[in-house]
Structure 1
Amino acid sequence: MTDDREDILRRDGITIGIAGMSLLNGMHFSAYFDPVFILMKQFAPGFFISSPLLIFYFTSLFISALTLAIGGIPAAIYERGKGLETSNATSMWIWLGGILLLTIPTLLQMTARPA
């Protein structure tokens, strides 16, 4: 019984790390923000979004969601290869590692900016 609780608690912590890193990658200082913002400005009128502030927020949300989805591909391949039906701690660590690789340019750009 305690092993299940420990595993659930470990997965919850990794899930918080996954969400935090993907949100960090969607921030305005992200290395991916400016190119995606330019593309979003072109597509926004098709979705009846005219406010620059809304485009700014949707760009951040889009980058975060895309980071979450792309970072999960290696974990999904691992789970498929192992034949797992549910995620375990190893696949969650793989997911966090994939997101961390996608977030490295943002972390480098964040630390390189003067205060």
Structure 2
Amino acid sequence: MPGPGTMHIGELAERTGLSLRTLRHYDEIGLLTPSGRTDGGFRLYTADDEARLLLIRRMKPLGYSLEAMGELLAVIDGLEATPGDRVLQQRLDAIRAEALERRGRLEAQLAAADEFVERLSGR
């Protein structure tokens, strides 16, 4: 049974819309390590783990690789440990700028898709 403020992998999967397989894979590659384990070895996650996972999930539609996701998380972790680190802040700013570019490309694709659907509706 999870302790107060923790959840098992199934609950985390349900809350985030990701599969158990994906969560296990993220653990295997070190992208999202559970905050703890039960005596029986079951993964336990916290609200902070859930927030981290939701950040990862939000990067997926922008086409980020797992490696790039890991880099972003390392930058965020570094800034939490050393808030004034200028190098890490500059890297975060660069990642943010890249995310805006990726979002712009998606927006253009969506506009093209809307135009396509509109043309099909007129026939």
Structure 1 length-normalised TM: 0.31
Task: Find the structure with the greater CA-based Rg.
Answer: 2
Q: Which has the higher strand share?
A: 2
Q: Which has the higher helix share?
A: 1
Question: Taking CA–CA contacts closer than 8 Å with sequence separation of 6 or more, which of the two structures ends up with the larger relative contact order?
Answer: 1
Structure 2 length-normalised TM: 0.30
